[in-house]
Structure formats: structure tokens, C-alpha cells
């Protein structure tokens, strides 16, 4: 008998309540998991932040013992953090609007910190000491070219890992991230950025020292001593150039040549680019004192090497640059030396070489001769040890008072990635104001500069900047008492007047939205240099006068970090303030 069908009056049981219940359960499970993870993250985020900051400080302090302890703590905190910022519910959340803005940064922090602790800081701590992060010492006039050799591999690995993970953190879009997450995230980015910069510089040094210090074969460099009393873009005129030979780390000084002796206005030493000749004039290749009209130190060094070769018939392996202020940093604690009845200490070194010498010897040939004697004596002090040379080198590099260029293309390619290279034109992330004196004398010694940087922020990102430079002519004596070599004697401008061209290079891709001088619209000449926008305006000051030039820029796109700011290092250290403003309703200053 056929099976009897269900009664016509009955209906299949509805299945949708079970579907709804399943969806509710699936929805509640992630909520519960997120609640638990959130609780654990809240309890571990402070520990993660604290450990990351402590690890960064240990690296900065070159404290291997502290780093070992902090790496262990960081690994535990990172492991806990990563465990509670991963799982199928986090994968699901990463595809949900708004929720993903909060979860993706947390996941990236957990992953990146874990990798950095294991693969970067761990190997550094295992080295047993962090002397690799210090500048190599000078002992008996020698710097060991292979001082960092045993650290090359761990430094290379740590640098690569830090670079990769910093890039991974920077790639996360934080636009919709709440401040409670964005704040710690950016704080850890800052810590890792500082750490990465220090490790990368040590990595570059480990790669370059063996060859650049003559470990494989002797090297010869031209050493420019920049005179900040007559400003040029990278510091001051190269009043003197010294031959410096390095053989297996042992440094010796050769001949000394005044820059004026290498100049020939009738015969430019090297071809300039169209941009260089238009902006800075052919004088950059006619007078050795003008090679650093350009803020691009590698170009200034190339032109100087051409001057040296024409004068001596010898090709140098590179060009180094230093100024008297940097020498004072390096000779901190030196025993006083007396040269022709003038006592020089680390405290008065810059004042003697940049000012006093011109009062004592009004004749330029006499002051040049004194400068030559002083340079040899002071470099002997540098190489003799007994002073904080390496600490001074770090301060000098930070202020761009010590620069280097290598004629070897492969070395220069690596050197160009660190501040020591002075790549202020090709590095589009750096904006700056650079001075070129037009007085033709040494009145620039009395110029002070104050710099105020204001970041304009939108949603925690830098959208633009205002850069205000205040220049002050501090000479308060009788102009007629000034030596002609200092006042200019009225040859090019009014006696005692400080006159200069100020060249402003905004960040690459940014727009200049305003230029003011003392509150009024400024007159300036726009131009381009190697494809980069720049502008030039004139600064004209009498004794006791000051002027403030303000540049306003808008970045092409908001970014998490503010562009770096650079300027011409003068006879005195600049007074710099960093002012942060809020706009667009954000509560998170960038």
C-alpha cells in the first residue's frame, strides 16, 4: 500500500528561528571574545608601551644589560598582546566598517612588536654590549677601521627588521581610529623610529668604516673648514682646505691651501647645471669660497674636489667639512693652547676663529696664517685623545656641522641615506631655509637665528606647517670700529650691514600658501632646483635690527610625521621651538 502523505492540513516546521538563533549565537560569541580580548589588551597595553619605550631608551643609552632585560619583558608583553589581537573573530572584524579602524592597528602593533623583539632587539642584546651604536674611539691618533666588524651582521639584520616593521606600522590608515588607540600606536611608532635611526646609522658606519678609514688602502680627503662668520647654505665659506690622509685608521694632515688661492674668476673649474647657474650663478665654479652656495652638500663637495685637483694635480677620495663650532664640541675639556699669544679653549674656540682673529689681524693674509696654525694645532688635539671627540661628532652631525662625501659611487649611495651626507635638495622630506651672504665680509658672526615650527594638524595627521625664521643682527658697537674685513668696508653693501639671500625649499610635493616678512606679504622669486620647488628672498639688516620671515606650506596629503626642518648653521646654535596646533576639531595633537 502506498505510503500515506502527510495530512493536507499540516505544514513543515519553520526553520528560520533556528537560523536566527544561530546568527545570534555567532554574533554574541565575537562580542564575548572581544570583551575578553579587550580586557586583556587593556591590561597589557601599558606594559607593551612601557617596555617599548624602555627598550628604546636602553638602545639610546647603549645599555646592553638594560636592553637584555627589556627585550625579555617586551617579548612577553608582545606575545600576550598578539595572542589577544588575533583569531577568527579579529579576521571577521577586520572587514567591518569602523570596527576595522580599531582592530587593524591593534593587530599590526602586536605583530610588529613581536617581530622586532625577536628578530631585531634580541640579536642586538645578544651582542653583549652596544658599543657598536657609539662612534669609534680615537686611540693614539688612530681609529680602528674594523671597530664594528663583529657587529656588522646583527646590525644589518636589526636595521632591516626595524625598517620593515616601521614601514608596516606607517602603512596602516589611522584616519578613523579613536584617540585611545591612535595615541599609544603613534607613541610606539616614535620610539621605534628613534631606535631605527640609531641602529641604521650604526649599520651604515659598519659598512663604510673599513674602506673610508683606509683599512684596505690609504685614503686622501680634502677637509673644508667652513667659516660661519660669512654664511653659505651649508654653514660658511670654506676659508681653508686641508689635505687629510687616512692609512689603516691613522690620520695625518698634509698641505693647507686657502680657498682664495684656488679661485680663478676667468676659468670656472667645473660645469654647473642650468638650475645651479641660474639660481646661484657661475661664481659657484669660479671661487672655491662659493662651492656651497647650494644646500646640496654632495654637489658642493664635487665642485670642491675639482678645485683641489686643478690646484694640486691630485684626485681626492672624498671631501669632508667641519666648522669651528663643531670643533669646539669635539674638543670639550681640552687643555688650553696658546697660538701667537692667543689662548684657545673649547669654550672660546669658535669666537677666536670666527671673530677675535679679525680684530687682532685686520690684514686677511695675517688672519689666514693664524687660521692655518690654529687648524693644525687643534686637529692635533683632536687626534691626541683626552677630549669627548665622539660625543662632539654626534652633536656636530645633529646640527649638520660635520658633513662627508665619497668619490666612490657605491660608498656615496650608502652615505647618502644618513644626515652626514647633507642631501638637503634631493631629500624631499626635508624643508629648510639656507643663507648666502652678500656682504662679502665676516659680519655674519653677529647674526642670530630663532626658528619656530608650527604643525597644522587634521585628524591627528600633519596637513601643513608654518616655518618662522627670525634673524637678528646683534652687533651693538660702533660700526666705524669694525675691521673692514668684518664690516665689508662698504664694498658691496652699506658698511656693517648684513645682507643675504634666503633660499626656502618646502617639502617635495607641498604647496607654498603664504610668505610673509614682518607681517607683510614678502617679495620673493620662485624657482625650481633639480625638479624641486624653491624660492629666494632678501634679508637686509643693520646692527640691532631683526626680521621675521614666515613660510606657510600645505602638504599634498596629510601624513603622520612632520617634515624635518633644516637651516644654515651659524656662529651660534639656533634657538628652535616646536609649536603644535590643532585644527579640524581634532583632540589629538600631532
> What's phi and psi for 430, nearest 5 deg?
-105, 130
Provide the strand spans (E) within 362-422.
402-406
Domain final position from 212, 236, 257: 212
Same structural domain for residues 196 and 306?
no
Domain final position from 188, 212, 236: 212
Same structural domain for residues 319 and 447?
no
Task: Report which of residues 514 and 369 the model is more confident about.
Answer: 514
Q: Which stretch of 50-54, 384-388, 404-408 has the lowest confidence by average pLDDT? A: 384-388
Per-residue confidence at 41, pLDDT binned at 50, 70, 90? low
pLDDT in tens, 81-138: 777 777 766 777 667 788 788 888 888 888 898 899 999 998 988 888 888 787 788 8
Q: Do the domain assignments include residue 15?
A: no
Q: Do the domain assignments include residue 416?
A: no
Task: Report which of residues 342 and 180 the model is more confident about.
Answer: 342
The single residue listed with the C-alpha cell 677620495 is 317
Per-residue confidence at 588, pLDDT binned at 50, 70, 90? very low
Q: Which stretch of 5-19, 265-279, 321-335, 382-396 has the lowest confidence by average pLDDT? A: 5-19
Question: % helix / strand / coil in the chain, to the nearest 5?
Answer: 45, 25, 30
What cell does 350 get? 669658535
Q: What CATH number should be reported for the domain holding residue 487? A: 2.60.40.1170
Same structural domain for residues 441 and 352?
no
Same structural domain for residues 45 and 184?
yes
Cα-based distances in Å from 515 to 535, 562, 567, 574:
10, 19, 17, 21
Cα-based distances in Å from 314 to 220, 290, 302, 539:
9, 21, 14, 39
Q: What is the pTM of this model?
A: 0.88
Q: What pLDDT, on a 0 to 100 scale, did the predictor assign at position 174?
A: 84
Q: Do the domain assignments include residue 18?
A: no
Q: Do the domain assignments include residue 589?
A: no
Neighbours of 347 (CB within 10 A): 12
What cell does 13 get? 516546521
Same structural domain for residues 246 and 140?
no
Same structural domain for residues 335 and 432?
no
Rounded distance, CA 419 to CA 408, Å?
A: 18
Q: Do the domain assignments include residue 415?
A: no
Domain final position from 152, 186, 212: 212
Of the candidates 590, 505, 456, 569, the one whose C-alpha atom is nearest the C-alpha of residue 229 is 569
Backbone angle region of 457, left / alpha / beta, with phi > 0 → left and psi within -120 to 50 → alpha: beta
Of the candidates 297, 299, 319, the one whose C-alpha atom is nearest the C-alpha of residue 309 is 319
Domain that holds residue 55: 23-212
Helix/strand/coil (H/E/C) assignment for every residue in 441-466: CCHHHHEEEEEEEEEEEECCEEEEEE
What cell does 207 get? 659598512
What mean pLDDT comes out for the span 237-246? 94
Q: What pLDDT, on a 0 to 100 scale, did the predictor assign at position 540?
A: 98
Q: Do the domain assignments include residue 112?
A: yes
Same structural domain for residues 225 and 362?
yes
Count of residues in the chain? 590
What cell does 57 get? 631608551
Of the candidates 265, 281, 264, 261, the one whose C-alpha atom is nearest the C-alpha of residue 273 is 281
pLDDT in tens, 419-452: 999 999 999 999 999 999 999 999 999 999 999 9
Q: What pLDDT, on a 0 to 100 scale, did the predictor assign at position 88?
A: 66
Rounded distance, CA 35 to CA 549, Å?
A: 54
Q: What pLDDT, on a 0 to 100 scale, did the predictor assign at position 422?
A: 96
Cα-based distances in Å from 423 to 234, 296, 500:
10, 5, 22
Q: What pLDDT, on a 0 to 100 scale, did the predictor assign at position 39?
A: 56
Same structural domain for residues 198 and 278?
no
Go through 431-454 and write b for each residue having 16 or more CB atoms within 10 A of its CB, e for each that does not.
bbbbbbbbbbbbbbbbbbbebbbb
DSSP string, 35-84: HHHHHHHHHHHHHHHHHHHHHHHHHHTT-HHHHHHHHHHHHHHHHHHHHT
pLDDT in tens, 304-326: 999 999 999 999 999 999 999 99
Rounded distance, CA 528 to CA 50, Å?
A: 46
Per-residue confidence at 12, pLDDT binned at 50, 70, 90? very low
C-beta separation of 239 from 368 below 8 A: yes
Count of domains for the chain = 3
Same structural domain for residues 268 and 198?
no
Same structural domain for residues 509 and 451?
yes
Q: Do the domain assignments include residue 11?
A: no
Beta bridge partners of 553: 465, 512
Same structural domain for residues 455 and 367?
no
Neighbours of 362 (CB within 10 A): 13
Q: Do the domain assignments include residue 9?
A: no
Rounded distance, CA 71 to CA 152, Å?
A: 20
Same structural domain for residues 335 and 468?
no
pLDDT in tens, 533-569: 999 999 999 999 999 999 999 998 888 788 999 999 9
What mean pLDDT comes out for the span 441-468? 93
Amino acid at each position: 500500500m502506498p505510503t500515506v502523505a502527510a495530512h493536507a492540513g499540516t505544514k513543515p516546521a519553520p526553520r528560520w528561528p533556528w537560523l536566527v538563533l544561530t546568527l545570534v549565537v555567532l554574533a554574541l560569541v565575537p562580542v564575548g571574545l572581544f570583551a575578553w580580548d579587550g580586557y586583556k589588551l587593556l591590561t597589557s597595553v601599558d606594559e607593551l608601551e612601557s617596555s617599548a619605550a624602555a627598550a628604546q631608551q636602553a638602545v639610546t643609552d647603549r645599555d646592553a644589560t638594560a636592553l637584555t632585560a627589556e627585550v625579555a619583558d617586551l617579548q612577553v608583553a608582545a606575545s600576550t598582546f598578539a595572542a589577544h589581537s588575533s583569531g577568527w573573530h579579529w579576521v571577521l572584524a577586520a572587514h567591518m566598517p569602523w570596527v576595522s579602524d580599531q582592530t587593524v592597528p591593534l593587530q599590526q602593533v602586536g605583530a610588529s612588536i613581536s617581530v622586532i623583539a625577536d628578530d631585531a632587539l634580541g640579536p642586538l642584546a645578544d651582542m653583549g654590549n652596544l658599543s657598536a651604536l657609539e662612534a669609534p674611539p680615537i686611540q693614539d691618533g688612530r681609529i680602528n677601521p674594523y671597530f664594528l666588524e663583529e657587529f656588522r651582521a646583527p646590525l644589518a639584520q636589526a636595521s632591516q627588521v626595524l625598517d620593515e616593521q616601521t614601514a608596516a606600522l606607517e602603512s596602516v590608515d589611522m584616519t578613523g581610529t579613536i584617540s585611545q588607540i591612535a595615541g599609544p600606536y603613534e607613541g610606539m611608532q616614535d620610539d621605534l623610529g628613534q631606535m631605527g635611526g640609531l641602529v641604521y646609522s650604526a649599520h651604515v658606519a659598519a659598512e663604510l668604516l673599513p674602506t673610508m678609514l683606509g683599512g684596505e688602502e690609504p685614503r686622501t680627503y680634502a677637509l673644508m673648514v667652513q667659516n660661519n662668520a660669512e654664511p653659505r647654505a651649508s654653514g660658511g665659506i670654506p676659508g681653508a682646505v686641508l689635505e687629510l690622509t687616512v692609512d689603516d685608521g691613522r690620520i695625518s694632515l698634509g698641505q693647507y691651501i686657502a680657498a682664495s688661492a684656488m679661485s680663478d674668476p676667468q676659468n670656472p673649474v667645473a660645469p654647473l647645471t642650468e638650475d645651479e647657474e641660474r639660481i646661484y650663478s657661475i661664481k659657484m665654479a669660479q671661487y672655491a669660497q662659493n662651492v656651497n652656495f647650494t644646500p646640496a652638500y654632495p654637489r658642493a663637495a664635487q665642485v670642491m674636489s675639482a678645485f683641489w685637483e686643478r690646484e694640486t694635480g691630485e684626485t681626492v677620495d672624498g671631501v669632508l667639512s667641519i666648522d669651528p663650532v663643531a670643533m669646539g664640541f669635539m674638543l670639550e675639556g681640552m687643555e688650553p693652547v696658546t697660538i701667537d699669544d692667543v689662548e684657545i679653549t673649547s669654550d672660546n674656540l669658535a669666537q677666536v676663529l670666527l671673530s677675535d682673529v679679525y680684530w687682532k689681524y685686520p690684514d686677511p693674509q695675517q688672519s689666514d696664517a693664524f687660521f692655518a696654525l690654529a687648524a693644525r694645532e687643534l686637529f692635533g688635539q683632536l687626534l691626541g685623545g683626552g677630549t669627548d671627540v665622539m660625543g662632539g661628532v654626534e652633536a656636530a652631525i645633529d646640527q649638520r656641522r660635520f658633513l662627508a662625501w665619497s668619490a666612490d659611487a657605491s660608498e656615496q649611495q650608502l652615505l647618502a641615506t644618513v644626515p652626514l651626507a647633507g642631501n638637503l635638495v634631493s631629500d624631499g622630506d626635508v624643508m629648510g631655509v639656507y643663507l648666502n651672504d652678500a656682504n662679502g665680509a665676516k659680519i655674519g658672526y653677529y647674526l642670530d637665528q630663532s626658528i619656530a615650527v608650527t604643525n597644522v594638524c587634521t585628524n591627528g595627521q600633519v596637513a601643513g606647517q608654518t616655518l618662522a625664521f627670525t634673524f637678528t643682527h646683534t652687533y651693538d658697537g660702533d660700526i666705524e670700529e669694525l675691521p673692514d674685513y668684518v664690516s665689508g668696508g662698504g664694498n658691496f653693501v652699506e658698511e656693517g650691514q648684513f645682507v643675504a639671500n634666503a633660499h626656502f625649499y618646502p617639502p617635495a610635493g607641498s604647496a607654498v600658501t603664504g610668505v610673509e616678512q614682518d607681517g607683510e606679504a614678502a617679495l620673493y622669486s620662485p624657482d625650481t632646483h633639480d625638479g624641486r620647488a624653491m624660492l629666494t628672498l632678501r634679508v637686509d639688516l643693520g646692527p640691532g635690527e631683526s626680521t621675521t620671515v614666515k613660510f606657510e606650506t600645505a602638504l599634498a596629503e596629510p601624513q603622520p610625521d612632520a617634515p624635518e626642518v633644516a637651516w644654515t648653521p651659524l656662529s651660534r646654535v639656533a634657538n628652535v621651538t616646536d609649536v603644535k596646533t590643532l585644527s579640524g576639531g581634532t583632540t589629538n595633537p600631532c
